[in-house]
Amino acid sequence: MRRPILRLGADALTEPARPVAAITTEIATLIDDMIDTMYAAPGIGLAAPQVGVPLRVFVIDLSLGHDRGELITMVNPEFVDRAGMQLEEEGCLSVPGFTATVARPHRAVVRGLDREGQPQTLEGDGLLARAFQHEIDHLDGRLFTDRLRGIKRDLIVRKIHKLARAGKW
Protein backbone atom coordinates (compact mmCIF):
# COMPACT_ATOMS: atom_id res chain seq x y z
CA MET A 1 0.00 0.00 0.00
CA ARG A 2 1.31 3.42 -0.89
CA ARG A 3 1.58 5.87 1.95
CA PRO A 4 1.63 9.66 1.75
CA ILE A 5 5.11 11.17 1.91
CA LEU A 6 5.49 13.99 4.42
CA ARG A 7 6.99 17.23 3.18
CA LEU A 8 9.45 19.66 4.70
CA GLY A 9 7.61 21.49 7.47
CA ALA A 10 6.05 18.35 8.96
CA ASP A 11 7.13 17.99 12.59
CA ALA A 12 7.64 14.23 12.20
CA LEU A 13 10.58 14.91 9.86
CA THR A 14 12.53 16.76 12.54
CA GLU A 15 12.26 14.19 15.34
CA PRO A 16 14.83 11.38 15.78
CA ALA A 17 13.32 7.96 15.06
CA ARG A 18 13.16 5.18 17.65
CA PRO A 19 14.91 1.82 17.23
CA VAL A 20 12.77 -1.10 16.11
CA ALA A 21 12.41 -3.52 19.04
CA ALA A 22 11.42 -6.58 16.98
CA ILE A 23 10.63 -7.49 13.39
CA THR A 24 6.88 -8.02 13.59
CA THR A 25 4.18 -8.37 10.95
CA GLU A 26 3.55 -4.63 11.38
CA ILE A 27 7.21 -3.87 10.58
CA ALA A 28 7.10 -6.22 7.58
CA THR A 29 3.98 -4.38 6.33
CA LEU A 30 5.67 -1.02 6.91
CA ILE A 31 8.68 -2.16 4.86
CA ASP A 32 6.45 -3.41 2.01
CA ASP A 33 4.50 -0.14 2.05
CA MET A 34 7.72 1.88 2.03
CA ILE A 35 9.00 -0.05 -0.98
CA ASP A 36 5.72 0.50 -2.87
CA THR A 37 5.75 4.20 -1.93
CA MET A 38 9.40 4.68 -2.95
CA TYR A 39 8.90 3.04 -6.35
CA ALA A 40 5.67 4.97 -7.00
CA ALA A 41 7.23 8.34 -6.13
CA PRO A 42 9.70 7.45 -7.88
CA GLY A 43 12.77 7.64 -5.69
CA ILE A 44 15.91 5.72 -4.79
CA GLY A 45 15.40 5.80 -1.03
CA LEU A 46 12.80 6.30 1.66
CA ALA A 47 12.99 6.40 5.46
CA ALA A 48 10.11 5.51 7.77
CA PRO A 49 9.79 9.05 9.22
CA GLN A 50 9.01 10.28 5.69
CA VAL A 51 5.78 8.27 5.82
CA GLY A 52 5.04 9.40 9.38
CA VAL A 53 6.42 6.38 11.23
CA PRO A 54 9.12 7.34 13.78
CA LEU A 55 11.12 4.11 13.50
CA ARG A 56 14.70 3.47 12.33
CA VAL A 57 13.95 1.78 9.01
CA PHE A 58 14.96 2.71 5.47
CA VAL A 59 14.80 1.22 2.00
CA ILE A 60 17.08 2.02 -0.94
CA ASP A 61 17.10 0.86 -4.55
CA LEU A 62 19.45 2.70 -6.88
CA SER A 63 17.88 0.88 -9.85
CA LEU A 64 14.46 2.51 -9.18
CA GLY A 65 12.90 -0.95 -9.13
CA HIS A 66 14.39 -2.17 -12.39
CA ASP A 67 16.55 -4.74 -10.57
CA ARG A 68 14.90 -6.03 -7.39
CA GLY A 69 18.25 -7.60 -6.48
CA GLU A 70 19.48 -4.08 -5.68
CA LEU A 71 16.77 -3.42 -3.08
CA ILE A 72 18.25 -2.73 0.36
CA THR A 73 16.19 -2.83 3.52
CA MET A 74 17.90 -1.69 6.71
CA VAL A 75 16.45 -1.76 10.22
CA ASN A 76 18.25 0.06 13.06
CA PRO A 77 21.15 1.18 10.87
CA GLU A 78 24.31 2.72 12.24
CA PHE A 79 27.51 3.81 10.60
CA VAL A 80 30.55 1.62 11.05
CA ASP A 81 32.81 3.78 8.89
CA ARG A 82 32.71 6.80 6.59
CA ALA A 83 35.55 8.11 4.47
CA GLY A 84 36.31 10.66 1.79
CA MET A 85 34.02 13.35 0.49
CA GLN A 86 31.84 13.92 -2.55
CA LEU A 87 29.95 17.01 -3.61
CA GLU A 88 26.93 16.16 -5.74
CA GLU A 89 23.44 17.43 -6.47
CA GLU A 90 20.85 15.87 -4.22
CA GLY A 91 17.09 15.89 -3.91
CA CYS A 92 14.52 14.38 -1.57
CA LEU A 93 11.01 12.98 -1.80
CA SER A 94 10.10 15.19 1.18
CA VAL A 95 11.37 18.30 -0.62
CA PRO A 96 9.99 17.68 -4.14
CA GLY A 97 11.14 19.97 -6.90
CA PHE A 98 14.26 21.18 -5.09
CA THR A 99 17.89 20.06 -5.33
CA ALA A 100 21.20 21.32 -4.01
CA THR A 101 24.83 20.31 -3.86
CA VAL A 102 25.50 18.55 -0.57
CA ALA A 103 28.78 17.25 0.89
CA ARG A 104 28.57 13.56 1.75
CA PRO A 105 31.11 10.81 2.44
CA HIS A 106 32.44 9.06 -0.66
CA ARG A 107 32.42 5.68 1.10
CA ALA A 108 30.18 4.43 3.91
CA VAL A 109 29.79 1.18 5.82
CA VAL A 110 26.45 0.64 7.56
CA ARG A 111 25.44 -2.08 10.01
CA GLY A 112 21.90 -3.07 10.95
CA LEU A 113 19.28 -5.75 10.40
CA ASP A 114 17.67 -6.98 7.21
CA ARG A 115 13.90 -7.41 6.91
CA GLU A 116 14.09 -10.86 8.51
CA GLY A 117 15.98 -9.47 11.52
CA GLN A 118 19.34 -10.91 10.49
CA PRO A 119 22.46 -8.78 11.05
CA GLN A 120 23.94 -7.25 7.91
CA THR A 121 26.82 -4.95 7.13
CA LEU A 122 26.77 -3.14 3.79
CA GLU A 123 29.41 -1.01 2.13
CA GLY A 124 28.77 1.56 -0.54
CA ASP A 125 30.62 4.24 -2.39
CA GLY A 126 29.48 7.11 -4.56
CA LEU A 127 25.71 7.26 -4.89
CA LEU A 128 25.07 4.38 -2.46
CA ALA A 129 27.21 6.03 0.25
CA ARG A 130 25.26 9.25 -0.38
CA ALA A 131 21.95 7.39 -0.09
CA PHE A 132 23.01 5.74 3.20
CA GLN A 133 23.87 9.14 4.70
CA HIS A 134 20.71 10.78 3.31
CA GLU A 135 18.39 8.11 4.76
CA ILE A 136 20.16 7.94 8.13
CA ASP A 137 19.85 11.73 8.29
CA HIS A 138 16.07 11.24 8.04
CA LEU A 139 16.23 8.76 10.91
CA ASP A 140 18.09 11.39 12.93
CA GLY A 141 15.47 14.07 12.16
CA ARG A 142 17.43 15.89 9.45
CA LEU A 143 16.74 16.77 5.82
CA PHE A 144 19.31 17.59 3.16
CA THR A 145 18.31 21.25 3.48
CA ASP A 146 19.66 21.17 7.06
CA ARG A 147 23.11 20.54 5.58
CA LEU A 148 22.92 23.66 3.41
CA ARG A 149 24.16 27.07 4.42
CA GLY A 150 23.73 30.58 3.16
CA ILE A 151 21.80 31.76 0.18
CA LYS A 152 21.01 28.32 -1.31
CA ARG A 153 19.24 27.19 1.87
CA ASP A 154 17.47 30.54 2.24
CA LEU A 155 16.19 30.42 -1.35
CA ILE A 156 14.76 26.93 -0.95
CA VAL A 157 13.12 27.72 2.40
CA ARG A 158 11.62 30.98 1.10
CA LYS A 159 10.20 29.27 -1.99
CA ILE A 160 8.66 26.52 0.14
CA HIS A 161 7.11 29.08 2.53
CA LYS A 162 5.67 30.91 -0.48
CA LEU A 163 4.23 27.64 -1.86
CA ALA A 164 2.80 26.81 1.57
CA ARG A 165 1.09 30.21 1.84
CA ALA A 166 -0.43 29.65 -1.59
CA GLY A 167 -1.68 26.21 -0.54
CA LYS A 168 0.57 24.45 -3.04
CA TRP A 169 2.85 22.71 -0.52
User: Per the domain annotation, does 77 fall within a domain?
Assistant: yes
Whether 135 is catalytic: yes
Instruction: Tally Cβ neighbours within 10 Å of residue 13.
Output: 22
For residue 68, the model assigns a pLDDT of 83
User: Per the domain annotation, does 88 fall within a domain?
Assistant: yes
Range of the domain at 60: 11-165
Max Cα-Cα span within the chain: 47
User: Per the domain annotation, does 6 fall within a domain?
Assistant: no
User: Per the domain annotation, does 116 fall within a domain?
Assistant: yes
Number of domains in the chain: 1
User: Per the domain annotation, does 1 fall within a domain?
Assistant: no
User: Per the domain annotation, does 147 fall within a domain?
Assistant: yes
Q: Where are the beta strands (DSSP E) in the chain?
A: 45-47, 57-60, 72-83, 86-91, 99-104, 107-113, 119-125
Catalytic residue among 15, 89, 123, 135: 135
Q: Are 111 and 82 in contact (CB under 8 A)?
A: no
User: Per the domain annotation, does 37 fall within a domain?
Assistant: yes
CATH at 19: 3.90.45.10
Q: Per-residue confidence of the chain (169 residues) as pLDDT tens digits?
A: 999 999 999 999 999 999 999 999 999 999 999 999 999 999 999 999 999 999 999 999 999 999 988 999 999 999 999 999 999 999 999 999 999 999 999 999 999 999 999 999 999 999 999 999 999 999 999 999 999 988 999 999 999 999 999 999 9
For residue 85, the model assigns a pLDDT of 97
User: Per the domain annotation, does 144 fall within a domain?
Assistant: yes
Q: How far apart are CA 156 and CA 92, in angstroms?
A: 13
Quick one: CA dihedral 6, 8, 11, 17, positive or negative? positive
DSSP 62-84: TTTTS-GGG-EEEEEEEEEEEE-
For residue 1, the model assigns a pLDDT of 94
